[in-house]
Amino acid sequence: MLREKYEIRIESIGGFGANLIGKLLGEIGAVHMGMEAQSFASYGSEKRGSPVKGYVRYSKDEIRINAPVREPDLLALFKLSLAEKENTLAGISESTDVVINTDLSFEETADKIKLPSCRLWILDAMGIAVECGARLNIVMLGAMIKASGFIPLEYAEEVVKNTVGARYPDKLTSNLMALKMGYSRAEMKEMNTKYKAEKYKDTQRAMGYDNGTIGGVNTVFANSVTNDLQGCREGFLPHFIREKCIDCALCDSTCPDMVFQFKDGVNMGMDLYHCKGCLRCVEICPTAALVQAKEGEYDDNIGNIYLKDKDFSFTEIGENSWVDSESYNNMT
Encode pLDDT of 177-236 as tens digits: 999 999 999 999 999 999 998 998 876 666 666 777 777 666 655 444 445 566 566 678
The CATH number that applies at residue 272 is 3.30.70.20
Q: Looking at the structure, do residues 181 and 323 belong to the same domain, yes or no?
A: no
DSSP assignment of 135-171, as one string? -HHHHHHHHHHHHHSSS-HHHHHHHHHHHHHHH-GGG
Ranges under pLDDT 50 in the chain: 222-226, 301-332
Residue 209 domain-assigned?
no
The CATH number that applies at residue 30 is 3.40.920.10
Q: Is 20 exposed, middle or buried (0-12, 13-18, 19+ CB in 10 A)?
A: middle
Q: Looking at the structure, do residues 95 and 232 belong to the same domain, yes or no?
A: no
- Give the chain's domain count: 2
Q: Looking at the structure, do residues 148 and 227 belong to the same domain, yes or no?
A: no
Residue 273 domain-assigned?
yes
Residue 200 domain-assigned?
no
Decide which of 191, 209, 235 is a domain's last residue: 191
Structural domain of 29? 5-191
Structure confidence at residue 332 (pLDDT) = 38
Residue 42 domain-assigned?
yes
Q: Looking at the structure, do residues 181 and 304 belong to the same domain, yes or no?
A: no
Structure confidence at residue 219 (pLDDT) = 61
Residue 285 domain-assigned?
yes
Q: Looking at the structure, do residues 234 and 161 belong to the same domain, yes or no?
A: no
Residue 269 domain-assigned?
yes
Q: Which of 123, 112, 50 is CA-nearest to residue 81?
A: 112
Q: Looking at the structure, do residues 269 and 183 belong to the same domain, yes or no?
A: no
Q: Looking at the structure, do residues 172 and 229 belong to the same domain, yes or no?
A: no
Q: Looking at the structure, do residues 86 and 130 belong to the same domain, yes or no?
A: yes
Residue 47 domain-assigned?
yes
Q: Looking at the structure, do residues 282 and 154 belong to the same domain, yes or no?
A: no
Structure confidence at residue 268 (pLDDT) = 84
In tens, the pLDDT along 291-319 reads 998 876 766 543 344 444 444 444 333 33
Residue 84 domain-assigned?
yes
HSE, CB side, 13 Å, CA atoms: give it for residue 173: 1
Q: Looking at the structure, do residues 19 and 56 belong to the same domain, yes or no?
A: yes
Whether residue 188 contacts residue 119, with contact meaning beta carbons closer than 8 Å, is answered with yes
Q: Looking at the structure, do residues 44 and 175 belong to the same domain, yes or no?
A: yes
Structure confidence at residue 47 (pLDDT) = 56
DSSP assignment of 61-123, as one string? S-----S--SS-SEEEESSGGGGGSTTTTTT--TT-EEEEE-SS-HHHHHHHHTPPSEEEEEE
Structure confidence at residue 260 (pLDDT) = 86
